[in-house]
Structure 1
């Protein structure tokens, strides 16, 4: 059996065995500052910074943190939206010698408390926004947190006074106490930027980021992502873009950054990769389809990495045809499976293929990529990244891998795969195969050309009348309906069948609703009888996660509450 069938599918000039040298993550920034100091680095709310300015501000963050006692072994939390604060704080913590812990604004109080204690977070950086600060203020004095460092959106904008007034008028900011628990971000950076650099002996051992998984049951686990994991992930992506002809041009790319950076996908592609390429990062605090369309057109952006719901919103915007999206040359969809129809429509509108990749928090999050240029296969998330090996574990016998073409649990090995779960050796062991690969929990198969096809998550699989039913298959079929904008399928209890599929759907602008019977008629030649949707709910909007993925967990919880109420 061919153990590396993907080699034949690699694009011209790209090598799977390319040299990938791990290094300290902070060097990604310091190298770009040294080599491209005057290149535009950040465009945010009317303010522009070049790489020299970005580097100087980061140095001041590092120096300020060291004055507080941050160094090797000290964990610093980031509870920040998509602003320049995140960029300078991420690199600043690492330059100071500390470890970053990412926090999500959507976390419940008990989850935030768990992460603070479990990760041993001593200091935390946030903003005075009403959507952020109060959640962390509640943690002061009740957890191990020593100090909150609080900034504001205005200080990174081009018109601070106007932004302060506008946000205050809308009630979007809150007052911050002056006490021993708090420090202003402006105070933190009030220094000369001279910090003590810390060397890293082994990048694959040195912890850079604790990235908590979203887990559907129990409290989340912290994936230990090392400097070697993250720097290797960035180099894997860079390597795939340096083929013939090259996709990336150092110092010339312009990146639309709309994903929340506390998510590993956004952190790697929108921040670390962009800085590695000395690209200009156009940051939006939150995603808005109109604003994205406007900036792509007016600022001639070249990169746009997002999740399927964002691309769906862009192509379904009623004014999309008015904008020129032809400057885009690389767009990537990650975080969730990309519906085939969405990819095809995006290509028709922009002239650019919407590449799809697969990865996880635990893989930093590289794993597979779509070859551009080269062979493409509808429904596939691509082939393994340079240095990555993927196998499919037998679902019934975890001591064997299945042959090409057969479904199994996707298992991965590579320099991007995490060191393990923080303080959870048992969970690390359970997620490791007999030969040292990481067990992802995703079900898929690899074809004879090395292309990976995701069938579903193990935990998402439904058991209907004894048959395995994969929601992804149903969702792909439903997306073919001309009126459907978004769809998520979950299993609901069925006294006769055990489980039955229920579809939650939003409609395209101006589309007419339809009944369950009409949908079943449409799907009759696309699904097996055991797969047919048995329940339908059309909504104005579907719940989403912090990164914008459709949240099946919320739908499952809603259904459970509804059944209890009934």
Structure 2
């Protein structure tokens, strides 16, 4: 696609380019926003709200602690292993102000996964929740981590509530296994040591790494995507450019149920919404729907950021259906394919259309999005400003518009590369900055992009390509289906056969015959499943994305055991 192809695809009032060098680094955006919106709420959680002014003060205290009470130097990596709590933005922005590189770490990681990430990143410091400190204790001697800061869930709350919340979690709910980290510092003690001190503000170059964000990527084991200050600032500006007409500065209330350590929520809530001074409601445990809905009931929220499985779960909850949606004007979906049935149901329940976007960890992450006032359900929208897409064949040749192939992305938000993995970087990133996504799709004449599926998830039936997303979209329209997934399993006659997994809605029933009939009525012969399995649940990632890979591995193990 030529540059001219994209220029006229943007809505009126949206420029096709941004100035990715407008700010040298994230710190410059943070300082400006915290001064402009000092009295505005930034983050709320567990009944406590931090204003932008308070966020700047607290992050400054943490930066001062790191600089004056540790030997950490600019460029050192610090692992942040926290769920959605007020502590998260405080320590992330504090670490950045001290010049450290943030390594976002999933609090649900096993000891093995933590050990790999800490060693691969070369992390010298760790900030973790007391609930996970026992795992840290078991692996820290095998890593280069020298400084450990531990926080408890209620640490940002007022003193009395803090004591109560922490005591209930530790002694009543028994959610804090015993641990022994004698050199660990409590976060509140660290903040006290930094109080009243002025940090020496780091001023990294825009090509310096801001975040090491770990991902499976398109190949191999978990790798650290090097996201620079320019990458993340560019993505902030790109998001702002496409949403400016719909999200006002300093007045929006955004629900944040997805984990901030995941790049989608990290960039949107901590970065893009910080840029325009909006209020983020942090949901610590979105799997606890009753508690989440109770939180939602307290706000006349104007925006909601989620993904397909969460939308499905909420729309099937009667208490959610009773909430006041009169203020809701923006719902954003990413992280996994949005199913048509889900989009229609959400619109029916909330009155708000879902705006689907697309991106990867390696693109910071937002690469395309549906303009809010011109949504095409079933597409991932148009490229965000200063971003180009193309489609290539298996041999790397660019394909004409409208043809199906692997999507490639070029733009200022594309990562610098994988941390200390030049060969893996070379596999996905060429000299001109084009990133190979591993996703199969096509570019429509109007510039909207349609994802067909992941390249590695494609099923090959008697030489025909079958895309699981299409099968799952059809399955999701069958009454009684709560969740579903489709995979390929080895088959002597056709190479692969299609197997579908279904979770049935509570209180409803479904038979294999009904599933097969529905697929027969809606799909051509080679796309119909041979096998159907009903389950109580499906394996998912920490953000709720169904793991087809795990389902395939389970099937292969069954076949190996049977033979």
Shared fold per TM-score greater than 0.5: yes
In 1, Cα distance between equivalents of 2:217 and 2:409: 19
Residue 210 (structure 1) aligns with: 212
In 2, Cα distance between equivalents of 1:284 and 1:423: 34
Residue 322 (structure 2) aligns with: 322
Q: Specify whether residues 269 and 98 from structure 1 end up closer, same or farther in structure 2 by C-alpha distance, changes over 3 A only.
A: same
2:255 partner SS: strand
Question: What TM-score, normalized by structure 2, do the two folds share?
Answer: 0.94
Q: Specify whether residues 217 and 233 from structure 1 end up closer, same or farther in structure 2 by C-alpha distance, changes over 3 A only.
A: closer
Checking the alignment, whether the CA contact within 8 Å between 2:476 and 2:484 is kept in structure 1 is yes
CA root-mean-square deviation: 1.8
1:154 partner SS: coil
2:442 partner SS: strand
Q: Specify whether residues 522 and 4 from structure 1 end up closer, same or farther in structure 2 by C-alpha distance, changes over 3 A only.
A: farther
Residue 532 (structure 2) aligns with: 536
In 2, Cα distance between equivalents of 1:366 and 1:123: 29
Question: What TM-score, normalized by structure 1, do the two folds share?
Answer: 0.94
User: Which of the numbers 394, 399, 413 marks the counterpart of 1:416?
Assistant: 413
In 1, Cα distance between equivalents of 2:538 and 2:197: 46
Residue 174 (structure 2) aligns with: 171
1:450-479 per-position Cα deviation (integer Å, ceiling 9, x unaligned): 111101111111111221111111111111
Residue 34 (structure 1) aligns with: 35
In 1, Cα distance between equivalents of 2:283 and 2:147: 28
Task: Map 1:191-340; keep pairs closer than 5 Å.
Answer: 191=194, 192-200=196-204, 202-203=205-206, 205-215=207-217, 218-242=220-244, 246-287=245-286, 288-340=288-340
In 1, Cα distance between equivalents of 2:444 and 2:481: 30
In 2, Cα distance between equivalents of 1:556 and 1:157: 44
2:523 partner SS: coil
In 2, Cα distance between equivalents of 1:34 and 1:63: 19
Checking the alignment, whether the CA contact within 8 Å between 1:33 and 1:52 is kept in structure 2 is yes
Q: Specify whether residues 530 and 215 from structure 1 end up closer, same or farther in structure 2 by C-alpha distance, changes over 3 A only.
A: same
Structure 1 unaligned blocks of 5 or more: none
In 2, Cα distance between equivalents of 1:502 and 1:5: 40
Checking the alignment, whether the CA contact within 8 Å between 1:326 and 1:352 is kept in structure 2 is no
Structure showing greater relative contact order (alpha-carbon pairs closer than 8 Å, 6 or more residues apart): 1
Residue 554 (structure 1) aligns with: 550
How far is 1:134 from its partner? 2.0
1:492-524 per-position Cα deviation (integer Å, ceiling 9, x unaligned): 122222211211112233322221x32121122
1:158-186 per-position Cα deviation (integer Å, ceiling 9, x unaligned): 41121122112111123453623x22112
Residue 122 (structure 1) aligns with: 124
Residue 76 (structure 2) aligns with: 74
1:73 partner SS: coil
In 1, Cα distance between equivalents of 2:344 and 2:217: 31
1:238-277 per-position Cα deviation (integer Å, ceiling 9, x unaligned): 11012xxx21111101111111111100101122122222
In 1, Cα distance between equivalents of 2:203 and 2:316: 49
Task: Map 1:124-143; keep pairs closer than 5 Å.
Answer: 124-129=126-131, 132-143=132-143
Checking the alignment, whether the CA contact within 8 Å between 2:497 and 2:529 is kept in structure 1 is yes
Residue 453 (structure 1) aligns with: 450
Structure 2 unaligned blocks of 5 or more: none
Q: Specify whether residues 109 and 218 from structure 1 end up closer, same or farther in structure 2 by C-alpha distance, changes over 3 A only.
A: farther
1:274 partner SS: helix
How far is 1:77 from its partner? 0.5
How far is 1:6 from its partner? 4.2
How far is 1:41 from its partner? 1.8
